[in-house]
Structure formats: structure tokens, C-alpha cells
């Protein structure tokens, strides 16, 4: 007999030929025995539960009924041909309908016999019915059917069905598969871990998830497999973290020097919050340790991350290194550049801006300054990771991102010096803890959980079209007080043209309401040349315009403390974290600020919840949690590149406790045995060696 394993190509499975193998590959991404094994049911039908006919209704997904087939008759011609039966129990009757296999059914179904039927109830012509029900003669065997009460349901596409790979078909393959490799399945976790967490053995869990005996066994199997999923992600992340610490010596920043002190004592226009001080201290400690810093700084909008980044970069400059700050968009890079220049007051350190729109000539100058070391700090976009950009001695990198940079891109920056630079990642909005642990599990995490003193919480209100005049009046009041206003329109890729029209119509209304020369309006949208955008931005920043009309390009980072009103048009079309980001553009000065969410009248349940959440709270961490619950991790930016999406069973929204438990267990393992050298950890070491062939254990020691 041939020997099978999880890496055997799927075409070798009994019942799968070349054509079915192709369909499995194209429709479900199943290439091997192992892939099929991990193709789990998405739900189970409880076959212990029976319904009476008078309990059925059209909203049920499926139901099982015991009754008698009392009549059977073929109706219609040609394409309209169908077989119709009457089915009856002690509470009523219903219709059963078949459009296919009519000849065969007529031969096998017995009028007068008792059946168990199973299918989706529906209502047709006011008559309860079921189309293509599964029919099983009701006999004593079914009466005693205790085991195999939970029937797995696998997702099926039309194409799969064509190859008889509907749920039943897949179930048959799973049975054949388990039969052929059950002996080869091995435990993945060290025994002491499985024991400590009372986990079902892996081979048994894999059988049970496809063929559960009962609810309890199924629950244990799912728990076990979730544990595995999370465990091996954490194992890799924490191994990387360990590897970074031990393999990569970091530049040691021995001194806190003149520039840092000069900035802190003479230029800093405010005193740092306790949280900012704490995070700067953490960074100082990391950079003095001789190991490479890899840290994520999380902080709510407006918590003052920029100044923390700047002070870290000055630390690098004081120690003879260069530093750079990379932002996800051109406008944000510009903003950072401007605010850093302003904070430094033209002294202390030299700063330049490098983006895609910097001219060749200027670029050459910047390149030269970078290479001869006269440039201390470089701010920019992706342009920074281009190959032509070479530093004399890059020691510190800040990535200000909206989780847009993947692990790969981070790695590219490391290679900009022999010893990799310290790496600080800042998120634009808070990320839920579970996501942070999974997306950034290889980093240390600092949290700026305090806003600068004197900030008044932003007041948020939600208005419908009927409130538009009120909103205009409100804007006028604020502008009269000397404040400035943002109005933001959504921009959705599929209909950029429509959105632009929308924005222009809005502008016309505004110009009538806010006529020159009393009011000046800046306009910024995605289709404008960068130069024009910049010009318009600058007018607003300098206070020459009172109203900034924009699409979401202003989303991240824009900092105009005098702006006190954020109006968001069609707010129902924005996601929660976007709304929160936008709102964060106001409330940056000492004045009371406002956010007005304008929406249409007809709102879906989720849009309503989003707007309600915005009105209820200003807390970015709370908003991030709601966002995760609404959208799931898959839709939250950046997760695509992270492998988080490979989670088949574990759910970062609901499995927080399990994730924490798993992560702690992995930390415990590495603390006790960093090289996974002990006999009891052999499975883990083998796993890492197998999945990351480049890993070199010697380097860790
Ligand atoms: P974010 O964390 O959203 O990037 P910024 O770094 O842009 O926040 O800071 C928001 C605003 O708060 C800026 O105008 C900044 O100058 C100001 N700021 C930062 N820290 C403090 C502080 N400790 N006290 C007062 N204002 C501060
Ligand atoms: Mg910022």
C-alpha cells in the first residue's frame, strides 16, 4: 500500500482524479492531503433535533421533520416538469418539490411510508414547502441514531457541485482521507503543554472536527485547533523577537547629549505628558542596551507621538548617527517635515524632506548630504527605501504608519546599515490588543495613554440633512471667533468621478453660504497635482483660508491647532477608524472643538452603530475594539500581509483570553529554553526548522 502523508498531492486521494483535483485547487486552494484536512466544516447540523410541521417557517436555515409521504405526482411539461409530494405529520401538511432525478425518485419513494426529511423550509403560494429535501426512510436505526448526530457542512460553490463536491461529497473525501492518513498524524505540541492546558491530542481533534461524536467533543476539538493556530503564530513571532535581540547587536547610544538637552530645555513649547516621558525613557533604555530596538508606539490621535519620535531621533544624532522618519503619504511626510523643522527652530539638527515629487536636482543634493553625513534627519515617504538612498550612518528609523508597512518593508530598512538601525513603529490609530499581539507580536509595545493637559474632549454630534442650516450657522459662529473648519467628503475608488461631482456640488452650496471676501476656502482632493495640494494646505495652515474642503487625503497627521470644527459629509460611508482619525484633526488646541457627522436618513444597522459609537466616545482604543467586532481582522488594514488571515478557527475578536494564554505559554517556553534544545521541545524546534528553512540556531546562542 502506498504511504500517504499531509504533503501528498490531493490527486492521490481515493475518489479524487485529475479533474476533481483541479477543481479542489482552483475553488478551495486545496493542493495536498493536509490542505483538505484543514478545510473545516463551517457549521454542523444537529441531527438529533426534530421539528413538527407547524413549527416550520421560511427563516429557518434547515430543519428535520418526521412524517409520512401521503401523495406523489408528476406535474408540468418539459422544463416545468417537477415531482410534487405531500408530506404530513400530526400537526399539518407541507409540499415537497423536486426538479431533478424525477424518474429515479418516482421509482424509489414509497407513498404511505414514514420518512425523515431534511432541508430548508420555504413558503410558495402561501403553502409551506421544501425543495429537494433529503429523504431517509424512518426506521428503528434512525430512532437510535445517537452518534453521528452532528453532520458537518462544508461550503460549496456551483463549480464544486458540478463535480459532486458539495458538502456531502467533501464529507466523503474527508472520510477517505482520514482513513488513509490517520496513522501518520502526529502531535504538534510538546506533551507537557498539551497536558498543562488540557488539550485533546491533535490527531483526535482533526478527526473530531470533521466527524464529531457530540457537541462536547466538537467544542474540545475546536479549542485544540484554535490553540494550535495561535500557538504557532506566536512561536514564530516570539522567536523572531528573540532572534533580533540576540542576533542583531544594536547601536549603543551611550550619551544623552547636547542636542537632546537643548531641544528639551530651550525649544520644547510645552511640557511632556507623563506618558510621553515614560515612552521616551523606554526608548532611551532600549537604545542604551546594546541590542536593537524594535518597538511599537501606540497612542491615540493627538496624544503627541511626533515629539516622541523627534526626541528619539535627536538621541541618535547626539550619538553620531543619522535618523529618518517614514510616513505613508506625501502630505503626511510634508506635515512631519514642517512640524519637526518648526520644533527644532532651524537649529539643533539638519532636516530634509524626500518624497517622490522632489526634483532630481534637489534629490542629488540630499543624496550627497546623506552620504557625507552632513544631514542628520531625513523625513519622507516610501522614497526612503529606494535603493539609491544611502546613509553614512543610519542609526534610528521611525515608521509612522497606518499599519501599512509589512514586516518585509521594515526589513528593507534594516539593511541600510551594517548594524541594523533601531526601529520605532508608530501607529496612527490604536489597534486592539489582540491584533497588536498578532500583527506586531515581534515588537515591544509602548502605549501613550494620556492626552496633553488642557485638551477639552471633542463634542461630537450627528445631524441629518434637515440639520444642514444649523450646521452652517454653527460654522459661521466658530469662524467669527477666529477658528477654522474642515469639511470632508468621502472618496470611494469605484466612483471617483461621482465623488468629485458630489464635492463640487457641495462647494457651490458653500460658496453661496460663505461668500467672498468674508470667507476663503481651500480645496484639496486626490486628483490634484501635489504642488497645488501643498499650496492649498499651506494657505489653510497659515490661516489665510477659514474653510478646508477635502477628500480623505487629510486623514492622517494634518496638524492645524486653530481648527475647531470637523464636518464629515456622508459620514455613514466612512469606517470607524477613519472617522476617528478625521475627528482627531480638531481638538488640538486649547479651544473646545466639535465634530459634526452629516448623514443621509436611511442608515443600515452597522452605519448607525458606527455613528453612535463616535458620538458616545472619544477613546480610540474603545473605538478600535468596536471596529474589530464590526469588521473582523481581515478588513483592518495591513492584516493581509501578516498571515493573520490564515486563521481558520481562531477569532481575534472573541478569543482574546485564549490568545493571551497562548502567548504567555510561548513566552514561558522561550524563557526556560531559548534554543528549544531540550528533548521535550523537539517538536517545536522541528517545526521552526521546517517552516523557516533559513533559520540558523547558532546565531541565537
Ligand atoms: P499624534 O499622536 O496624533 O501624531 P501629534 O504628535 O501630531 O499627535 O501631536 C498633536 C498636537 O499636540 C500637536 O500640535 C503637538 O504639538 C501637540 N502636543 C504634543 N505633545 C504635547 C504636550 N505634551 N502638551 C501640549 N501639546 C502637545
Ligand atoms: Mg501623528
Q: DSSP per residue over 229-270, as a string?
A: HHHHHHHHHHHHHHHHHHHSBPPP-----HHHHHIIIII-SS
Q: Which residues pair with 63 in a beta bridge?
A: 119
**Any bridge partners for residue 158, and if so which?**
none
E strands within 512-671? 521-524, 547-550, 563-568, 594-599
The answer, yes or no, to whether residue 340 has pLDDT greater than 90, is: yes
Mean pLDDT on 223-249: 83
Percent residues over pLDDT 70 in the chain = 89
Question: 151: helix, coil or strand?
Answer: strand
- pLDDT tens per residue, range 601-639: 889 889 999 999 999 999 888 898 888 888 766 555 444
What does the mean pLDDT of the chain come to? 86
CA-based Rg of the chain, rounded to a whole angstrom? 32
Confidence band of 698 (pLDDT split at 50, 70, 90)? low
* Domain 459-617 CATH assignment equals 3.40.50.300: yes
What's the whole-number mean pLDDT along residues 565-578? 90
Q: Which CATH architecture has domain 62-144?
A: Beta Barrel (2.40)
pLDDT tier for residue 2 given thresholds of 50, 70 and 90: low
Compute the distance between CA of residue 27 and CA of residue 558 in angstroms, rounded to an integer.
Answer: 44
Question: What is the Cα 320 distance to its own chain's centre?
Answer: 38
Closest ligand 1 atom to the C-alpha of 584?
3
Q: What is the pLDDT of residues 381-416, one digit of tens each?
A: 888 877 778 899 999 999 986 555 555 566 666 666
Mutate to test the pocket of ligand 1, among 303, 305, 306 (most ligand atoms within 8 A of CB): 306
Does pLDDT of 148 surpass 60?
no
Please determine, for residue 146, whether its predicted confidence score (pLDDT) is greater than 60.
no
Bridging pattern class, strands 134-137 and 114-119: antiparallel
Separation CA 32–CA 15 (nearest Å):
14
Count Cα atoms within 13 angstroms, Cβ side, for 304: 26
Question: Is residue 699 packed enough to be buried (19+ CB in 10 Å), middle (13-18) or exposed (0-12)?
Answer: exposed
The continuous run of DSSP H or E covering 24 comes out as helix 18-28
184-222 confidence digits (pLDDT tens):
899 999 999 999 999 999 999 999 999 998 888 999 999
* Distance (Å) of CA 62 to CA 45, 47, 89, 132, 377: 8, 11, 18, 12, 64
From the CA of 297, which ligand is nearest?
A: 1
Three-state DSSP at 426 gives: strand
* 642 — pLDDT class (breaks 50, 70, 90): very low
Q: Answer for the pair 197, 180: CB distance below 8 angstroms, yes or no.
A: no
Quote the pLDDT of residue 551.
79
Task: Give the cell for residue 534.
Answer: 501643498
> Cell digits for 174?
474527508
User: CA 629, 633, 634, 638: dihedral to nearest 10 degrees?
Assistant: 140
Domains of the chain by residue range: 62-144, 191-247+654-701, 258-448, 459-617
pLDDT at 638: 47
Tens of pLDDT, residues 281-336: 999 998 998 888 888 898 888 889 999 999 999 999 999 999 999 988 787 888 88
Bigger pLDDT: 644 or 658?
658
Q: Decide: pTM greater than 0.95.
A: no
**Is 459-617 in the same CATH topology as 258-448?**
yes
CATH of 258-448, one of 3.30.1330.40, 2.60.40.60, 3.40.630.10, 3.40.50.300: 3.40.50.300
Dmax (CA) for the chain in angstroms is 97
Residue 130 has pLDDT above 70, yes or no: yes
Residues with CB under 6 Å of ligand 1 are 270, 272-273, 276, 299, 301-307, 452, 559, 561, 584, 588
The β-bridge partners of 596 are: 461, 567
**Contact 318/256 with Cβ under 8 angstroms?**
yes
The answer to whether residue 1 scores a pLDDT higher than 60 is no
Is 303 within 8 Å of 428 (Cβ atoms)? no
Distance from C-alpha of 420 to C-alpha of 394, rounded to nearest angstrom: 8
Per cent of the chain over pLDDT 90 is: 47
DSSP letters, 506-535, are: HHHHHHHHS-TTT--EEEE-TTS-HHHHHH
Q: How many angstroms separate the alpha carbon of residue 548 from the centre of ligand 1?
A: 21
Residue 250: left if φ>0, alpha if ψ -120 to 50, beta else—which one?
A: beta
Are residues 87 and 67 in contact, defined by beta-carbon separation less than 8 angstroms? yes
**Distance of alpha carbon 549 from the chain centroid:** 29
Distance from Cα 684 to the centre of ligand 2, integer Å: 40
Q: What is the mean pLDDT of residues 460-484?
A: 95
Task: Identify whether the C-beta of residue 432 lies closer than 8 Å to the C-beta of residue 625.
Answer: yes
From the CA of 428, how far away is ligand 2's center (Å)? 6
Ligand 1 atom at minimal distance to the Cα of residue 272: 23
Residue 456 clears pLDDT 80, i.e. is over it: yes
| Whether 380 contacts 353, CB under 8 Å | yes
Residue of 307, 309, 584 with the most ligand 1 atoms within 8 Å of its CB, for mutation: 307
Atom of ligand 1 nearest to the CA of 589: 14
pLDDT at 139: 76
Amino acid at each position: 500500500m502506498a504511504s500517504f502523508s499531509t504533503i501528498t498531492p490531493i490527486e492521490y486521494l481515493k475518489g479524487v482524479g485529475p479533474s476533481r483535483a483541479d477543481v479542489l485547487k482552483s475553488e478551495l486552494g486545496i493542493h495536498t492531503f493536509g490542505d483538505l484536512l484543514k478545510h473545516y466544516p463551517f457549521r454542523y447540523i444537529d441531527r438529533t433535533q426534530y421539528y413538527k410541521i407547524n413549527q416550520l417557517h421560511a427563516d429557518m436555515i434547515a430543519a428535520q421533520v418526521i412524517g409520512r409521504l401521503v401523495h406523489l405526482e408528476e406535474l408540468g411539461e418539459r422544463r416545468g416538469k417537477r415531482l410534487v409530494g405531500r408530506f404530513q405529520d400530526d400537526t399539518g401538511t407541507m409540499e415537497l418539490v423536486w426538479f431533478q432525478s424525477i424518474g429515479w425518485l418516482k421509482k424509489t419513494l414509497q407513498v404511505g411510508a414514514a420518512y425523515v426529511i431534511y432541508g430548508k423550509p420555504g413558503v410558495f403560494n402561501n403553502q409551506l414547502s421544501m425543495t429537494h429535501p433529503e429523504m431517509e426512510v424512518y426506521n428503528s436505526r434512525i430512532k437510535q441514531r445517537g452518534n453521528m448526530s452532528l453532520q458537518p457542512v462544508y461550503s460549496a460553490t456551483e463549480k464544486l457541485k458540478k463535480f459532486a463536491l458539495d458538502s456531502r461529497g467533501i464529507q466523503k473525501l474527508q472520510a477517505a482521507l482520514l482513513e488513509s492518513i490517520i496513522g501518520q498524524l502526529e502531535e504538534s505540541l510538546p506533551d507537557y503543554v498539551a497536558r498543562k492546558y488540557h488539550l485533546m491530542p491533535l490527531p483526535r481533534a482533526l478527526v473530531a472536527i470533521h466527524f464529531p461524536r457530540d457537541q462536547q467533543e466538537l467544542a474540545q476539538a475546536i479549542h485544540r485547533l484554535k490553540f494550535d493556530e495561535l500557538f504557532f503564530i506566536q512561536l514564530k513571532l516570539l522567536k523572531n523577537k528573540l532572534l533580533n535581540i540576540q542576533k542583531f547587536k544594536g547601536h549603543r547610544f551611550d550619551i544623552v547629549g547636547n542636542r537632546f538637552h537643548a531641544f528639551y530645555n530651550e525649544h520644547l513649547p510645552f511640557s511632556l505628558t507623563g506618558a510621553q516621558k515614560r515612552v521616551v525613557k523606554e526608548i532611551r533604555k532600549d537604545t542604551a542596551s546594546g541590542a536593537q530596538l524594535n518597538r511599537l508606539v501606540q497612542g491615540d490621535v493627538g496624544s503627541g507621538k511626533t515629539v516622541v519620535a523627534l526626541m528619539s531621533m535627536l538621541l541618535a544624532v547626539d550619538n553620531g548617527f543619522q535618523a529618518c522618519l517614514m510616513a505613508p503619504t506625501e502630505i503626511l511626510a510634508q506635515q512631519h517635515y514642517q512640524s519637526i523643522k518648526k520644533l527644532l527652530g532651524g537649529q539643533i539638527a539638519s532636516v530634509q524632506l524626500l518624497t517622490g515629487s522632489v526634483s532630481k536636482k534637489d534629490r542629488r543634493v540630499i543624496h550627497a548630504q546623506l552620504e557625507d553625513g552632513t544631514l542628520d534627519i531625513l523625513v519622507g515617504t516610501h522614497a526612503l527605501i529606494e535603493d539609491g538612498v544611502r546613509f553614512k550612518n543610519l542609526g534610528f528609523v521611525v515608521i509612522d504608519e497606518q499599519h501599512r508597512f509589512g514586516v518585509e518593508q521594515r526589513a528593507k530598512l534594516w539593511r541600510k546599515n551594517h548594524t541594523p538601525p533601531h526601529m520605532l513603529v508608530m501607529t496612527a490609530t490604536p489597534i486592539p490588543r489582540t491584533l497588536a499581539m498578532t500583527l506586531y507580536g515581534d515588537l515591544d509595545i509602548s502605549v501613550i495613554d494620556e492626552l496633553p493637559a488642557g485638551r477639552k474632549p471633542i463634542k461630537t454630534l450627528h445631524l441629518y440633512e434637515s440639520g444642514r442650516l444649523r450646521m452652517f450657522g454653527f460654522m459661521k459662529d466658530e469662524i467669527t471667533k477666529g477658528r477654522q473648519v474642515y469639511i470632508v467628503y468621502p472618496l470611494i475608488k469605484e466612483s471617483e468621478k461621482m465623488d468629485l461631482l458630489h464635492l463640487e456640488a457641495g462647494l457651490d452650496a458653500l460658496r453661496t453660504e460663505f461668500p467672498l471676501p468674508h470667507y476663503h476656502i481651500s480645496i484639496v482632493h486626490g486628483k490634484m497635482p501635489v504642488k497645488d495640494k501643498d499650496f492649498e494646505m499651506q494657505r489653510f495652515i497659515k490661516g489665510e483660508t477659514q474653510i478646508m474642503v477635502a477628500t480623505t487625503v487629510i486623514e492622517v497627521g494634518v496638524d492645524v491647532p486653530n481648527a475647531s470644527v470637523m464636518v464629515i459629509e456622508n459620514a455613514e460611508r466612512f469606517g470607524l477608524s477613519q472617522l476617528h482619525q478625521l475627528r482627531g484633526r480638531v481638538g488640538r488646541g486649547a479651544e473646545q472643538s466639535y465634530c459634526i457627522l452629516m448623514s443621509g436618513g436611511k442608515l443600515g444597522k452597522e452605519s448607525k452603530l458606527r455613528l453612535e459609537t463616535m458620538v458616545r466616545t472619544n477613546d480610540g482604543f474603545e473605538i478600535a475594539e468596536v471596529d474589530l467586532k464590526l469588521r473582523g481582522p481581515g478588513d483592518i488594514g495591513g492584516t493581509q500581509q501578516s498571515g493573520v488571515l490564515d486563521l481558520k478557527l481562531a477569532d481575534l475578536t472573541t478569543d482574546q483570553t485564549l490568545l493571551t494564554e497562548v502567548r504567555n505559554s510561548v513566552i514561558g517556553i522561550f524563557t526556560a529554553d531559548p534554543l528549544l534544545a531540550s528533548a521535550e521541545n523537539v517538536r517545536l524546534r522541528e517545526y521552526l526548522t521546517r517552516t523557516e528553512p533559513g533559520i540558523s540556531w547558532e546565531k541565537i546562542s
